[in-house]
Homo-oligomer: A and B are copies of this chain.
Amino acid sequence: MESLREFNTSTRILMGPGPSDVNPRVLKAMSTPLVGHLDPEFLVVMDDIKAMTQATLQTQNELTFVVSAPGSAGMETCLVNLLEPGDEAVICIHGVFGTRLADIAERCGAKVIKVEADWGTPINPEDVKQALASCNPKLLAIVHAETSTGVLQPLEEISKMTKDAGALLVVDAVTSYCGTDLKVDEWGIDALYSGSQKCLSAPPGLSPVTFSQAAIDVLDNRKTKVQSWFLDLTMVKNYWSGAKRAYHHTAPVSAMFAMRESLRIVLEEGLENRFKRHQKNHELLRDGLEAMGFEFLVEKQYRLPMLNAVRIPDGVDEALVRKRLLEEYNIEIGGGLGPYAGKIWRIGLMGESSTPNHVNMLLAALKQVM
């Protein structure tokens, strides 16, 4: 075949469930000519990323690094390394990503004990307590920020229950990381994964993860091999730390350059300032949307600042509105998933996309379109 036409895309304003807008500094870092994945200079980049990931996750965990694949692979990394066939796992489900956790845990051969809540509400700690008492749990997995519904899940009480039951706490922080408070050590989280493309505002494709010593102990005492070679921490960890820095797979060098610059930007702003900014712009959007008559899916105290799920008013052709926002204003917002497809919009204010200008652009465009 002949070569295709030159690359040419529209300049979008990304206000969906991720990816978010990316800072030009990050794009510039990513376009730096490559170095090898075992170059001493690249190993320093990895060390920098590790240190900044620890800082942004508020953890001292030695086993903190970035999986060379998107957030879903980070989710799978946590479960395939900690579960073995026959293990019992309590999985909390209140949206798409809890459902995915249960699916993966079953593929690991684990017996899954589900704790469910209506989509749009948080998991009830009382239900967790019952589930933990009903089995011999190896771990409990729960989503901190359900991207499918916009629910912020309180974790501290559930963490205590999980510890009391002798189980590991696994947390999905894909959407919360770098956008709202997330204290890995203080909250007793044993394994956590996130994504690069949400409130960190790096391009999608990488998944920051961290593991506590208790999680490493479970890993070290496995009776069976990890079912995934690519995600096997017993090998991956020797590429990220230790004296030898053994080759495992070829790291995505350019994406890691981007990751490093995104993390720098977060630390320049400061975590507290960043969390406040996300909250403030969420309130600005909320006030604007409520003034237009929109209703939020989630009760006020459980709302995510970076992912706003609003009900679509009766009689509105929601797909047409999203299409017009994209085509006429270059603004992307997200539709609903699963049972909420066609029923809600998911408006992201993540990282670089959390600014008053983003809020104002969207509110004005929505008024004009609807």
Could you say which residues of chain B place their CB within 8 Å of the CB of A12?
A: 33-36, 39
Docked CA distance A257–B8 (Å): 10
Residue from A19, A28, A75, A267 having most chain B Cβ neighbours under 10 A: A19
Quick check: A39 and B253 within 8 Å, CB to CB? no
In the complex, the answer to whether A257 meets B7 with C-beta atoms within 8 Å is yes
- A10: B residues at CB distance < 8 A: 35, 41
User: Could you tell me if B257 and A255 are in contact, using CB atoms closer than 8 angstroms?
Assistant: no
- Cα A83 to Cα B311 with chains together (Å): 44
A141 CB to nearest chain B CB (Å)? 13
For the complex, give the distance between the alpha carbons of A258 and B337 in Å.
29
Query: A218: shortest Cβ distance to chain B, in Å?
Result: 18
Binary interface encoding of chain A residues 195-223 relative to chain B, with 1 for a CB under 8 A from any of its CBs, else 0: 10100000111000000000000000000
CB contacts (< 8 Å) of A27 on chain B: these are 31-33, 254
B36 touches A337 (CB 8 A): no
- Contact indicator A250/B1 (Cβ below 8 Å): no
Bound complex: CA A197 to CA B42 (Å): 16
A30 CB to nearest B CB, Å: 6
Q: Which residues of B contact A254 (CB under 8 A)?
A: 22, 27, 30, 203-205, 254-255, 258
Chain A, residues 65-83, CB within 8 Å of chain B (1/0): the string is 0001111110110000000
| A326 at interface by CB-CB < 8 Å | yes
- Kindly state the separation between the CA atoms of A300 and B252 in the bound complex, as whole angstroms: 33
Shortest CB–CB separation between residue A175 and chain B, in angstroms? 11
B22 to A36, Cβ gap below 8 A? no
Residues of B within 8 A of A21 (CB): 33-34
Inter-subunit contact B70/A250 (CB<8 Å): yes
Confirm or deny: A185 has a beta carbon within 8 angstroms of a beta carbon on chain B.
no
Q: Is residue A289 contacting chain B, with contact meaning CB distance below 8 A?
A: no
- Chain B neighbourhood of A34, CB < 8 A: 12, 14, 19, 21-22, 203
Is B14 in contact with A22, judged by CB distance below 8 angstroms? no
Contacts of A197 in B (CB 8 A): 250
Instruction: Report copies per complex.
Output: 2
The answer to whether the Cβ of A100 comes within 8 Å of any Cβ in the partner chain is yes
Within 8 A of B (CB), among A71-115: 71-73, 75-76, 100, 103-104, 106-108
Q: Does A14 contact B41, Cβ atoms closer than 8 Å?
A: no
Question: Which stretch in A48-56, A129-137, A158-166 binds the other chain?
Answer: A48-56
Given contacts A22-B34, A27-B31, A252-B204, contact A72 B1 (CB under 8 A): no
A4 to B257 Cα, complex, angstroms: 13
- Partner-binding segment picked from A116-124, A224-232, A273-281, A357-365: A224-232
* B36 close to A7 (CB less than 8 A): no
Within 8 A of B (CB), among A181-199: 195, 197
- Please list 24 pairs of residues, one from A and one from B, whose beta carbons are closer than 8 Å in the complex, sorted by A's number: A4-B260, A7-B32, A7-B260, A7-B261, A9-B33, A9-B45, A14-B34, A19-B36, A27-B31, A27-B32, A31-B31, A34-B203, A69-B73, A69-B230, A70-B230, A70-B252, A71-B249, A72-B229, A76-B228, A76-B229, A107-B227, A204-B252, A205-B205, A252-B255
Extra inter-chain contacts (5) besides given A34-B203, A70-B249, A254-B258, CB under 8 Å = A3-B268, A4-B52, A19-B250, A68-B73, A252-B255
